Amino acid sequence: MTKVLTVIGTRPQFIKAAAVARAIKQHGGIQEVLLHTGQHYDDAMSDIFFREMDLPKPDYHFSINTSTHATMTAQMLEGIEQAIIKEKPDTVLVYGDTNSTLAGALAASKLHVPVAHVEAGLRSFYMDMPEEVNRILTDRLSTQLFCPTEVAMQNLKNEGLTEPDRLVVNTGDVMYDAALYYAKQSAKKSDIVQKLGLKKDGYLLATFHRAENTDNKERLEAIVKAINTLAKEHTIVLPLHPRTRKMMEQFHLKLNCMVIDPVGYFDMLSLLQNSHLVLTDSGGLQKEAYFFHKYCIILRDQTEWVELTQAGCSVLAGAVKEHILHGVANMYNKQFINGNIFYGNGKASALICQHLVK
């Protein structure tokens, strides 16, 4: 029996880990120990995902969420190290690009425990973004690099991370696994579209939460102004991240659209599937928009999902009001290019399990 310690801490990681946890259960040859750092901690950002997605209750649950990047990562390192010493896993499994990801990889490598990285090889080539630093360092520390795309594979090859002692494989994207599986459930379990009085294909779905946007007054103000302008002609539904709400209050900014509290995964899938178009700075939502054949306006200057911009399925608008408005106008009446050709066949989680036990 292979023992795997899984480190998660944020909303996107709960979604990815749920897909892999389901595959682990079906596989039968892996014992999973689940560690939640608490980076996302309240009900709307954490607990609801465990309930909805049947994620096992964490074996370890910290509450490390209110510090600077350095302090947060240091506190996570201390807790994860103790868990690794106690559990003696064969592998530490980490996801994505958060402080929880880096802390898990660092703690494991210091104790000479192999690290497996899901979503390896992604690059925005923007080092001011904390997530970019986290991904690069995590990939350097990992012995198993599970890439979601061929672009990610090429990035690792360009960086020389394809030595014989590393496993580098294109597994496909576990978020595609999750989207396929949970979309059927969301159609039965979510009534948020009806509750909000929305019409199918009759509204835009917007989210923004990244520090590069929320912590910069000029960028945040430009995004708010663009959304308020769009809201004069379109219904816009915006689940508001706690960080975004806090910074908008600090900068005295107000949204004139349908602002709602953060929602669970089923409600988010329902809102996405019934929307007309998406505006977001979320990496996960960029892909999910593609999964469900929605064009996406990316509220960032770079993206790690370059295959989507190259294919014309999404467009980079940054935090420039005119670019955001132009992107919506350009894509609003376009027919979507069908086909999920970039992210595997929906069986990435099963393939990851096969490699974990080798």
160-213, pLDDT tens digit by residue? 998 888 999 999 999 999 999 999 888 888 999 999 999 999 999 999 999 899
pLDDT above 90: residue 219: yes
pLDDT above 90: residue 348: yes
Cα gap 208→38, rounded to integer Å: 21
- 339 confidence band (pLDDT: 50, 70, 90): low
2-173+344-356 and 189-331 share one CATH topology?
yes
Mean pLDDT, the chain, as a whole number?
Answer: 93
Of the listed 40, 209, 241, 276, which one is catalytic? 209
Quick check: 143 and 149 in contact, CB under 8 A?
Answer: no
- Give me the phi and psi of 326, to 5 degrees please: -65, -40
Cα gap 240→199, rounded to integer Å: 21
CATH class of domain segment(s) 189-331? alpha beta
Model pLDDT, residue 299: 98
Q: Where are the alpha helices (DSSP H) in 217-295?
A: 217-230, 242-250, 265-274, 283-291
Per-residue pLDDT of 257-266, as tens digits, reads 999 999 988 9
What does the domain layout of the chain look like in residue ranges? 2-173+344-356, 189-331
User: Would residue 209 show up in a list of annotated catalytic residues for this protein?
Assistant: yes
pLDDT above 90: residue 141: yes
Residue listed under structure tokens 């923004």: 208
Cα gap 149→307, rounded to integer Å: 9
Percent of the chain with pLDDT over 90: 83
Model pLDDT, residue 40: 61
Q: Which residues of 217-228 are buried (b: 16+ CB within 10 A; e: fewer)?
A: eebbbbbbebbb
Query: Taking Cα atoms as reference points, which of 114, 136, 181 lies closest to residue 350?
Result: 181
Of 34-48, 102-116, 229-243, 301-315, which gets the smallest average pLDDT? 34-48
Quick check: 64 and 3 in contact, CB under 8 A?
Answer: no
State pTM to two decimals: 0.91
CATH class of domain segment(s) 2-173+344-356? alpha beta
User: What is the DSSP-derived secondary structure letter of residue 127?
Assistant: T
